[in-house]
Structure 1
Amino acid sequence: MPTVYILECADGSYYVGSTRDLERRLAEHRSGVGAAYTRRRLPVRLAFRQDFDRIDEAYRLEKQVQGWSRRKREALIAGDYALLPALARKPRLAPPTSPPVEERAPLSPPVE
């Protein structure tokens, strides 16, 4: 069954993956033949899993969660789904510090 999973590594970091066979993949990670990332951070423990009917759905969520912040991943692991939208909001950008284009000094003509 296609599954997205999050492993918590010995250093406290998270690894996000997807697989068609979670038990086999966990055994690979735990024995050090899984991803290079987890190989250097053993032992690992399964912190989250979500099963899907189709592998493309699992892969899509895997790629999405890989781009999430640590806080958002932790909310997902904790099942705090109501918090996810708030953690998805991007911080507002500061207004530009340079003057608008029309207020800038004109460019001098190119020297030939």
Structure 2
Amino acid sequence: MSWYVYILKCSDNTYYTGVTKDLKRRVDEHNGDDKKAAKYTKSRRPVRLFWSEPHESRSSACQREAAIKRMKRTEKVALASRV
């Protein structure tokens, strides 16, 4: 099963980056279940999937996540527009 790095666009137009094995389930968790939603996204609902990228291992997905979190907002937008 693949791992995914994803970027969510929040209702306040900020971005949240994460890693998961199941994109649909994770986005639903961010939008609904308070116990499983990230603290950052709880107050910025609704969120929507902005971008995602598959990876073969959790390790490579986490490395990519860390690199994306260091990016400027304009770089994240450019990344998503390359799709």
**What is the alpha-carbon distance in structure 2 between the residues aligned to residue 62 and residue 32 of structure 1?**
23
Aligned to 1:15: 16
Partner residue of 1:57 out of 49, 57, 60: 60
Gaps of 5+ in 1: 81-112
RMSD of the TM alignment (CA)?
1.2
Q: Deviations over 1:8-63 (max 9, x none)?
A: 00000000001122222111101053101011100001000001111111000001
**What is the alpha-carbon distance in structure 1 between the residues aligned to residue 33 and residue 47 of structure 2?**
10
- Higher gyration radius (CA): 1
Highest relative contact order (Cα 8 Å, sep 6+), 1 or 2?
2
What TM-score, normalized to structure 1?
A: 0.68
Gaps of 5+ in 2: none
For 1:38, the aligned partner's letter is T
Query: Displaced runs of 4+ in structure 1, greater than 3 A?
Result: none
What TM-score, normalized to structure 2?
A: 0.90
Q: How many residues align?
A: 80
Q: Relative to total residues, which structure has the larger strand share, 1 or 2? A: 2
